[in-house]
Amino acid sequence: MSRDRHPLLALPAAFGRAVLDLLDAPMRAVQRLVGVPRIAWIFVGPNLAILGLFTFLPIVINFYFAFTGGVALYPSQRPFTGLENLETLFECESYLDPSTCRKDLFWRAIFNTGKFAVLQVGLMVAFALITALVLNRKILGRGFFRGVFFYPVLLSPVVVALIWKWVLQREGVLNALLAGAGASPVGWLSEAPTAFFWCVFVSIWAHMGFYTLILLAGLQAIPPDLYEAAEMDSASPWRRFSRITLPLLMPNLIVVLVLGLIRAVQIFDEVFVLTGGGPGSATTFIVQFIYQTGFAESIHQYGLAAAASLVLALSLLALTLVQLRLTKKGLAGGSGRDHG
């Protein structure tokens, strides 16, 4: 079977044969022991083991951490404190003013994350939709431009942050362009409102392409003769968009919005490298709070970090449930296709 393949595959093929021969005998023995149907458990075993060890077990342990105190890492050394960690997090005179809270960084992070999620997802989905609409037309070089918007999605968040950090330097190219136009240079990342803006911008820059492709696929699934029928029905371009395109694209839009929100709420990598959470705590988001509390400060407060993780997990769960509910409604409503 592997004989008539490309000569370049000779080495992996030889490797494959070696592994096969090595493991064949023990695997046959296991097979005799367990029988063919149950050997499936052997195959699925390693994956399950990893998941069990690094996903399911930690979920359970997380609760334990959240409800215990002290600074030890090992659970046996942690005294049970019940809801104390959660109470600490939620201790506030006024929930609307983070500075009145005991853990004001936590609340600032919550507010920042909320603001960020709404802004970033709203703008990103809007731009993704516009881009998808443009790319859906008969444009020369469509495939090329599709790739153009998708490229930043492939870059690592650290690289993305550094690319923009370099542009936004006090003596960077953006300020140079401003100076050339007669304006004065701005400390983009050292002022709170602009730093926040750039976090939103960079995040949109890095992820928009992915959602554009999803929306583009949705647009291309709309039969073109619906638009012609609408033209014959005297529909203006705006009505064609609002009464045909938008309703039929709704399932994709919902998916994109919820996926975007789930990712936005967990934002960390690129903003951590771009601003480090600053200036002050202006761009500190919830995951950074967890990281800092649990790992970066001199005293690792595992309990608080775990409790904060629970809060994050709950909001993600809520978002996922919302998506499930909306998709069910959306599917029943809009995506029925007329097959003539």
Partner 1 sequence: MASLRLQNVGKRYGATTVIHSIDLDVPDGEFVVFVGPSGCGKSTLLRMIAGLEDVTSGEVGIDGKRVNEISAAQRGLAMVFQSYALYPHMSVYQNLAFGLENLRTPRVEIDAKVQGAARMLRLDALLERRPTQLSGGQRQRVAIGRAIVRDPTIFLFDEPLSNLDAELRVQMRAEITALHKRLGTTMIYVTHDQVEAMTMADRIVVLRAGKVEQVGTPLELYNHPANRFVAGFIGSPQMNFLNGRVAGADAERIRVALDAMGSAAAEALPLRGASASPEQAVVLGIRPEHIGLGAATAPSLSLPAKIDRIEQLGASSFLYCTVGAGERLTVHVAGQVPHVSGETVTVTLPVADSHLFAATEGGAAFPRR
Partner 2 sequence: MARLVAFLSAQRGRARADWTDWVSYAYLLLGLLLMFGPVLWLVLSSFKSPAALNEFPPQLLPYGQKTVIVAGHEKPLPLFSATLPDGTTRELAEVRRIGIQATLVDPAAPEEEYKVNIRDRKPVRHFELATSNYTEVFGKFSFGTYLWNTVFITVIATLITLLFNAMAAFALSKYRFGGRDAVFVLIISTLMIPPTIILVPNFLVVSELGLLNSLWGVIWPAVATPTGVFLLRQYMLTIPDELLDAARMDHASEWRIFWRIVLPLSAPALAVLAIFSVMWRWNDFLWPLIVLSRSEKFTLQLALNAFQGELTTEWHYLLAMTVITLLPVTLVFAFLQRHITTGIASAGVK
Instruction: For partner 1, give the closer residue by CB, 4 or 338.
Output: 338
**Nearest one of 178, 216, 196, 157 to 282, comparing CA atoms:** 196
Judge contact between 306 and 71, C-beta under 8 A: no
Residue holding tokens 């709203």?
Answer: 122
Segment 320 to 339, residues that bind partner 1, using CB under 8 A: 333-338
How far apart, in whole angstroms, are the C-alpha atoms of residue 298 and residue 284? 18
Q: Does 240 bind partner 2 (CB under 8 A)?
A: no
Cis peptide before 279 (omega within 30 of 0): yes
Helix axes 104-135, 246-265, angle to 10 degrees: 150
Judge contact between 252 and 214, C-beta under 8 A: yes
Instruction: For partner 2, give the closer residue by CB, 155 or 222.
Output: 155
Judge contact between 302 and 294, C-beta under 8 A: yes
Residue 243 touches which member of partner 2, partner 1, none, C-beta under 5-8 Å by kind: partner 1
Instruction: Give the interface segment with partner 2, choosing from 88-96, 117-125, 138-146, 245-253 (CB under 8 A).
Output: 138-146
**Nearest one of 94, 130, 277 to 204, comparing CA atoms:** 130
Residue 16 touches which member of partner 2, partner 1, none, C-beta under 5-8 Å by kind: partner 2
Segment 254 to 273, residues that bind partner 2, using CB under 8 A: 262, 266, 268-269, 272-273
The minimum distance between CB 97 and partner 2, in angstroms, equals 27
Segment 223 to 282, residues that bind partner 1, using CB under 8 A: 223, 225-226, 228-236, 239, 243-244, 247-248
Binding site for partner 1 (CB under 8 A): 223, 225-226, 228-236, 239, 243-244, 247-248, 333-338, 340
